[in-house]
């Protein structure tokens, strides 16, 4: 499994021979100017919730690629009405896709579209690939529900928001890492706006001091699991 960070909460995942884009917010991100969304390949686009900083480039990428948009029923319905291919899910449900199994799980946040349309309840995704399992938290507070995830899935990586203000901060992400029984964390949802700027070295050191590994990728950088 290969994971590429496209800035903010935007990810590219290659798994089981398929390409997945998660929460694409690239064209308005000053820090991601070197990423051209027209060059992104996608068989699927996973959307955690309907906020503008997670859906901005969904339609453009779906048009370019013909990707299937996977999200909660309300977000999937919104895009289906616009003629896009979708796969609706809801909390606690799993689906065996051709690249692996995806479960839509709880997050504590909100989820209306920028135009005010109801975007259902926000979530995160657990992806069980052929060899590795990951959790993409989406925008969320620290929540006890994270303890449910390792009861079913042994995680190899957890992707957690760490920017605070709208989501968990670094210290809560460390507790989340305990709840998830996963010491390998990729941080996201930081630095994009003034509200969520963080000190990278301090964040990494806090994880290191708890014998955990916090990875902060350059925008466009990839890791291989
Ligand atoms: Ni949000
Ligand atoms: Mn957000």
Distance 182 CA to ligand 1 centre (A): 24
Predicted structure pTM score: 0.98
Classify residue 223: in a domain, yes or no: no
Integer Cα distance of 174 and 30 in angstroms: 28
Which structural domain, as residue segments, surrounds residue 177? Answer: 2-218
For residues 96 and 137, is the Cβ–Cβ distance under 8 A? Answer: no
Classify residue 224: in a domain, yes or no: no
- Give me the pLDDT at residue 36, please: 98
Distance 67 CA to ligand 2 centre (A): 22
Classify residue 103: in a domain, yes or no: yes
Tokens at residue 43, please?
């068989």
Integer Cα distance of 85 and 94 in angstroms: 18
Number of domains composing the chain: 1
- Give me the pLDDT at residue 186, please: 98
Distance 167 CA to ligand 2 centre (A): 8
Q: What is the mean pLDDT of the chain?
A: 98
Nearest alpha-carbon partner for 35 in 53, 10, 58, 55: 10
Render pLDDT for 131-157 as a digit per residue (tens, 0 to 9): 999 999 999 999 999 999 999 999 999
Distance 60 CA to ligand 2 centre (A): 19
Classify residue 136: in a domain, yes or no: yes
Classify residue 197: in a domain, yes or no: yes
- Give me the pLDDT at residue 217, please: 98
Distance 219 CA to ligand 1 centre (A): 20
Q: pLDDT category, 43, cuts 50, 70, 90? A: very high
- Tokens 């995704």 belong to residue: 125
CATH classification of the domain holding 162: 3.60.15.10
- Give me the pLDDT at residue 81, please: 98
Classify residue 55: in a domain, yes or no: yes
Q: pLDDT category, 71, cuts 50, 70, 90? A: very high
For residues 198 and 191, is the Cβ–Cβ distance under 8 A? Answer: yes
């Amino acid at each position: 499994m290969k994971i590429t960070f496209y800035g903010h909460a935007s990810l590219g995942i290659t798994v089981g021979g398929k390409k997945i884009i998660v929460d694409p917010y690239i064209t308005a991100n000053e820090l991601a100017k070197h990423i051209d969304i027209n060059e992104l390949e996608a068989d699927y686009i996973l959307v955690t919730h309907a906020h503008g900083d997670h859906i901005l480039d969904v339609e453009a990428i779906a048009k370019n690629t013909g990707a299937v948009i996977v999200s909660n029923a309300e977000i999937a319905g919104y895009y289906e009405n616009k003629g896009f291919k979708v796969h609706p899910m809801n909390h606690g449900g799993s689906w065996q896709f051709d690249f692996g199994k995806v479960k839509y799980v709880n997050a504590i946040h909100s989820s209306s579209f920028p135009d005010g349309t109801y975007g259902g309840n926000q979530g995160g995704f657990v992806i069980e690939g052929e060899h590795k399992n990951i959790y993409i938290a989406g925008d969320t507070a620290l929540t006890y529900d994270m303890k449910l995830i390792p009861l079913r899935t042994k995680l190899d990586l957890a992707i957690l928001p760490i920017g605070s203000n709208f989501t968990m901060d670094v210290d809560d992400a460390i507790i989340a890492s305990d709840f998830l029984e996963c010491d390998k964390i990729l941080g996201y949802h930081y630095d994009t706006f003034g509200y969520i700027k963080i000190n990278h070295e301090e964040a990494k050191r806090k994880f290191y001091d708890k014998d955990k590994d916090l990875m902060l990728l350059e925008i466009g950088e990839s890791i291989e699991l």
